[in-house]
Chains A and B, each alone.
Chain A
């Protein structure tokens, strides 16, 4: 498989993330599948940031630790990442001094000095570096220029000039020729962007959020695209305000989603329970990061699975989906919103930093997501918000509907929505709400709820963003991979089918306790081995391959 990896490193504020996205778009235009991973500490200036971009002939859902090019905006980048280089690699270094890196070619160009001399904006340095890279990899200059024009809003002319300057220098030190593939460029999205678009396609009207990494970029993205997507974004006083506003807006008839990380979700838990009682549909996006408490804000984890499954006092149905790439994020966001509205239950999209903020090639078919009709009240006879029906779903009406008095409540209530303490009514209403699970399951049986890759007697079970590294490693080793897309209601039927013929089951996750393994156990599925990490970093296929060899 033809593939290339590029690392860009520098300080926070150096524009490393944007430069990485530009690299991704360059390869995208050359017909490659791309994946970009950003590693950055929780600070605004200084520190060490890097982006790793991988481009390949086949879909890739992970970065490669080894790289072909390092763009080092400072010396620290070379020191920290020299181990990633191979004999064919090139280091593009911002500086005059020739620094030695064993076995690799180093091209020291005083880029900052050149930019300063011309009195250009400091960030134009990145385009200069990309020009050198394009030259060294023999990528047509026009492609880089096109990316500059499409991505940058300011200082475009200066950037184009520096791209060209860099290109001329890079050409003299060519290390390889990146061939153009016969594919049209495809959209490159982060998990958050895919969730935003999937929800928007399913009729999202309000997105409400309070800033928290790695969910802030979801708020920012929808705020920036309000008019294109017919979505209205709101940033209230805190996460309690967020969740309660969402329930109010949904009560008034607007499809509403909120988003946060584990800590913010902790504040929303009481409101989540309210949706369990008053049956108002709200979608919660929970992007995991290492916890407890503030944890490691800008890194990744899969340690909130049981929190999300069990959050909220009392018993009530919920839907929990777990996308592993941007295509799944798009489909499942749409499905979560539709299921929430059709069954009047809360739905949770459980993601993590690695999916939410990494960018990758999207191949979804948007026509598969559209607003599905909820059960609405037809104006005849008396309206009862909590009418007891066969499916447990009561036809909805919204305030402002003549003839319907819409009473919703956090107390146990009768069909009309008036508080009750009568044992028969309590029993009836608990059963009415819980009955919905059966019908949600019936609908899910018609959906793909568990993904299976490969075949064999040894299988790996995994979830969320970890599936990217797992699938790649498993392919190399000839192992089967099983990935549940729904965690609640848990697709036991599809798991059973997936597990047929499997003699050895290995669990791979990014947490300490093996959350998925624990969940599987409650359904009578036992894993034989667990491969876990909890250092804030996602698995890479290479690391996994080694670990898998040990246990297989």
Chain B
């Protein structure tokens, strides 16, 4: 079987060596494998927020919705509920998903919408030149916090779990094979799937040396992905300080009814006919 080409003519403008290249490569490979395994290419939709990460939609030749900063998830939810047959994969920044649009993050997890969210977590606002984000460690010095960030970082893995996400994982942009596997697992999972990806920003916060030495694979070491408390414990093992070991892999995975199933109750929005009269309703108003 031939591999579908996903190239576009858009010029890639990421800094050489950026962790985003690893996510792009893994995303393309995952999409190609999904297509090879039977998902029609036209049924795949990707979205992105605004930031360096957002450019990914210009670099993959597939249906795409380049959204606003922080607004990947409600748009993805709208797409999925209007056409549940689509495979919907969102790409967002850490500033995007955990800052500007965090309410949608909490609610998408709570609803269990059947979409995938890949977060390019570089712990900085890349495109706006390196300010601290919700996941920057306390004391991080960027242009908006020259005296050091006064805040503790947010723990998105723990937040996703607490919000009700049914698939919670972390990848590393430099572990391409592992990331392809995670994205595919996330797509196959029915429900809201978070793949938070450690994505070093070589220009503003080069974390490659640290992560390459300190990540370890949860699945290799053995972890019960159906145990919520164990997942929470693993989530809290590391929180964005460049200290200690960093678990990657699937933290948690359970089955629950999805938002679309509960909302649509078997209705197929794109196939429902237009009504040809409202007279039956008008009668109730007499």
Q: Chain A residues in contact with chain B, CB under 8 A?
A: 25, 28-29, 150, 185-189, 193, 197, 200-201, 203, 205-206, 208, 225, 228-230, 232, 234, 236-238, 240-254, 256, 270-271, 274, 278, 362, 366, 370-371, 398-411, 417-419
Additional pairs, 20, CB under 8 Å, beyond known A251-B79, A400-B270: A185-B286, A201-B278, A203-B274, A206-B81, A229-B278, A230-B272, A232-B263, A244-B74, A244-B104, A248-B82, A253-B83, A253-B270, A256-B82, A278-B66, A398-B270, A407-B57, A409-B57, A410-B50, A418-B8, A419-B10
B286 contacts which chain A residues (CB < 8 A)?
25, 28-29, 150, 185-188
A418 to B81, CA, bound (A): 26
User: Is the CB–CB distance between A399 and B45 below 8 Å?
Assistant: yes
Q: Chain B residues in contact with chain A, CB under 8 A?
A: 8-10, 40, 42-43, 45, 50, 55, 57-58, 61-68, 71, 74-83, 85-86, 103-104, 106-107, 263-264, 267, 269-270, 272-283, 285-286
User: Is the CB–CB distance between B67 and A244 below 8 Å?
Assistant: yes
Residue of B nearest to A407 (CB): B64
A193 contacts which chain B residues (CB < 8 A)?
285
A243 to B77, CA, bound (A): 11
User: Is the CB–CB distance between A244 and B62 below 8 Å?
Assistant: no
User: Is the CB–CB distance between A197 and B281 below 8 Å?
Assistant: yes
| Nearest CB of B to A391, in Å | 24
B80 contacts which chain A residues (CB < 8 A)?
248
A interface, by DSSP: helix, strand, loop or mixed? mixed
User: Is the CB–CB distance between A366 and B81 below 8 Å?
Assistant: no
User: Is the CB–CB distance between A399 and B61 below 8 Å?
Assistant: no
- On whether A234 and B82 interact (CB within 8 A), knowing A399-B45, A404-B42, the answer reads no
Residue of B nearest to A399 (CB): B63
A228 to B270, CA, bound (A): 17
Residue of B nearest to A197 (CB): B278
| Nearest CB of A to B125, in Å | 17
User: Is the CB–CB distance between B65 and A248 below 8 Å?
Assistant: yes
- On whether A405 and B61 interact (CB within 8 A), knowing A252-B270, A419-B10, the answer reads yes
| Nearest CB of B to A226, in Å | 9
Which of B78, B263, B283 makes the CB contact (< 8 A) with A244?
Answer: B78
User: Is the CB–CB distance between B277 and A366 below 8 Å?
Assistant: yes
A347 to B62, CA, bound (A): 29
B86 contacts which chain A residues (CB < 8 A)?
252, 399-400
B274 contacts which chain A residues (CB < 8 A)?
203, 230, 370-371
A271 to B104, CA, bound (A): 14
User: Is the CB–CB distance between A366 and B82 below 8 Å?
Assistant: no
B45 contacts which chain A residues (CB < 8 A)?
252, 399
- On whether A366 and B67 interact (CB within 8 A), knowing A189-B285, A251-B79, A419-B55, the answer reads no
B77 contacts which chain A residues (CB < 8 A)?
236, 241, 245, 248
User: Is the CB–CB distance between A418 and B74 below 8 Å?
Assistant: no
A257 to B134, CA, bound (A): 33
Residue of A nearest to B59 (CB): A418
A401 to B269, CA, bound (A): 16
A126 to B198, CA, bound (A): 65
A230 contacts which chain B residues (CB < 8 A)?
272-275
Which of B55, B83, B269, B278 makes the CB contact (< 8 A) with A200?
Answer: B278
A419 to B8, CA, bound (A): 12
User: Is the CB–CB distance between A271 and B71 below 8 Å?
Assistant: yes
A197 to B279, CA, bound (A): 10
Residue of B nearest to A409 (CB): B66
Which of B43, B50, B74 makes the CB contact (< 8 A) with A400?
Answer: B43
List of 7 A-B pairs having minimum Cβ-Cβ separation, nearest first? A248-B78, A409-B66, A244-B74, A252-B82, A245-B78, A248-B75, A187-B285
- On whether A408 and B66 interact (CB within 8 A), knowing A252-B83, A399-B79, the answer reads yes
Please name 13 pairs of A and B residues whose Cβ atoms are closer than 8 Å in the assembled complex, sorted by A. Answer: A25-B286, A29-B286, A185-B286, A205-B269, A237-B106, A247-B78, A248-B82, A252-B82, A271-B68, A366-B279, A400-B83, A402-B42, A410-B66
Residue of A nearest to B75 (CB): A248
User: Is the CB–CB distance between A225 and B78 below 8 Å?
Assistant: no
A248 to B55, CA, bound (A): 19
A229 contacts which chain B residues (CB < 8 A)?
275, 278, 281
- On whether A251 and B103 interact (CB within 8 A), knowing A187-B285, A418-B9, the answer reads no
Most chain-A CB neighbours within 10 Å: which of B43, B65, B285? B285
A276 to B273, CA, bound (A): 28
A203 to B272, CA, bound (A): 10
A28 to B283, CA, bound (A): 13
A269 to B275, CA, bound (A): 31
User: Is the CB–CB distance between A249 and B281 below 8 Å?
Assistant: no
A418 contacts which chain B residues (CB < 8 A)?
8-10, 58
B67 contacts which chain A residues (CB < 8 A)?
244, 274, 410
